[in-house]
Structure 1
């Protein structure tokens, strides 16, 4: 291998001192921050909508398999809330403001909030699986778009994506797929 790795520590130190007011954002962040923050706010909205849908489903679910399905919905609801908080924390680190305005959540969310009959557990499971599949696809695209331009945000998205894939697998299992 002919490439050598060298760090210009003097330049890095000088830049860190000169741009201290930019917090965690350094010249290594190569993306349009305004666009990235907008996309992360869409993620926040999506996760809050998913949290609300799962929470509502966990509370109202009824029928013979209610206990098992409601427990899964409650677990997913808690994890979706954590996902939204992680995306919001990253927005804050990037110098933006997380948008949790309830009036615009559904407009910014990638998924829909679908209310179902409390006795139709299969439809609840299917609607949540559709939502997970939407989230998986959009988060994959976001992670690819970020690429190497912002490794920290990409890792946040990839860690959320991993858990969303687990949710989809859980729902598929409950549906017997």
Structure 2
């Protein structure tokens, strides 16, 4: 039994690299359906942007006895979700697509909802639901990509790991608040 040999013909690799040079990083080895990948990534981008907006609202609206530490968690998550959005947008452009930042239809492209929550506990629950949605949908994207686009798959795996961390953080916050009693409702802003 012979082991499969690695492609060692460097001249062939060099020749292929010169062909279709206008396609940038997309070589003959790219096996995914780019249009589908770009569509999925634009949905993930919308999901991240909606999460940024929801976390930012929760950060500013958090009030009550336990709000300071929870608001800090909301802000940290908002910043990390923005980093995810930037990573996704960058990858879309690498695939010769256009990242869709248009507010028109943002909620219909997003997998997560934009739910404001009435108090601190509701805000945490809404954020946890959104993280759980992202976890499941990003896992599906990763499975779809398989070995056809390993760069996008690795990026989505990195984002998925952070979303799972966010979900765990929020779950821990809910548990801690449950032991300390219901927080006060946010102040009404006019």
Q: TM-score scaled to structure 2, two decimals?
A: 0.89
Per-residue Cα deviation, 1:79-123 (whole angstroms, up to 9, x for no partner): 000001100000011111111001121110000001222xx1111
Q: Which residue of 1 aligns with 2:27?
A: 26
Q: Secondary structure at the match of 1:27?
A: coil
Partners of 2:31 and 2:104 lie apart in 1 by 32
Partners of 1:107 and 1:140 lie apart in 2 by 20
Q: Secondary structure at the match of 2:64?
A: coil
Per-residue Cα deviation, 1:8-29 (whole angstroms, up to 9, x for no partner): 3222211110111000111121
Work out whether residues 116 and 126 of structure 2, in 8 Å CA contact, stay in contact via their aligned partners in 1: no
Partners of 2:5 and 2:161 lie apart in 1 by 32
Work out whether residues 128 and 170 of structure 2, in 8 Å CA contact, stay in contact via their aligned partners in 1: yes
Shift, 1:146, TM fit: 0.2
Partners of 1:10 and 1:104 lie apart in 2 by 48
Structure of greater Rg: 2
Work out whether residues 49 and 81 of structure 2, in 8 Å CA contact, stay in contact via their aligned partners in 1: yes
Aligned residues: 175
Structure 2 residue runs of 5 or longer lacking an equivalent are 177-190
Work out whether residues 135 and 164 of structure 1, in 8 Å CA contact, stay in contact via their aligned partners in 2: yes
Partners of 2:128 and 2:116 lie apart in 1 by 14
Q: Which residue of 1 aligns with 2:106?
A: 105
Partners of 1:40 and 1:3 lie apart in 2 by 37
Partners of 2:168 and 2:5 lie apart in 1 by 42
The alignment yields a C-alpha RMSD, in angstroms, of 1.1
